[in-house]
Amino acid sequence: MTLNERQIDRVIEMAWEDRTPFEAITFQFGLKEQEVIELMRREMKPSSFRMWRKRVQGRATKHMNKRPFDKGRFKCSRQRNISNNSISKR
């Protein structure tokens, strides 16, 4: 599968996000984890790639099976609820 420049930028963005698992990239773009790593190596500066690899290795949130939560998004217990564009108090 060939990706255009916009899709490559989006894959890189998703790969940098802590809470976006590789499975989401696979679902959306059809790229497996190894293919994402190869894309990152090809598209980024060597120092940026090394920084990303160091950041991603061992990060549980980048793999669906290692996440501490199953459905939805992680939400901190101290995070306020947002409804109708107004922040409600605890």
pLDDT, one tens digit per residue, over 4-28 is 999 999 999 999 988 888 888 999 9
The share of the chain scoring above pLDDT 90, in percent, equals: 40
44 burial level (CB within 10 Å; 0-12, 13-18, 19+): middle
pLDDT at 84: 47
Do residues 46 and 87 make contact, with C-beta atoms less than 8 angstroms apart? no
Query: Which of 47-56, 60-69, 71-80 holds the top average pLDDT?
Result: 47-56
pLDDT at 71: 56
Q: What tokens were used for 24?
A: 């989401």
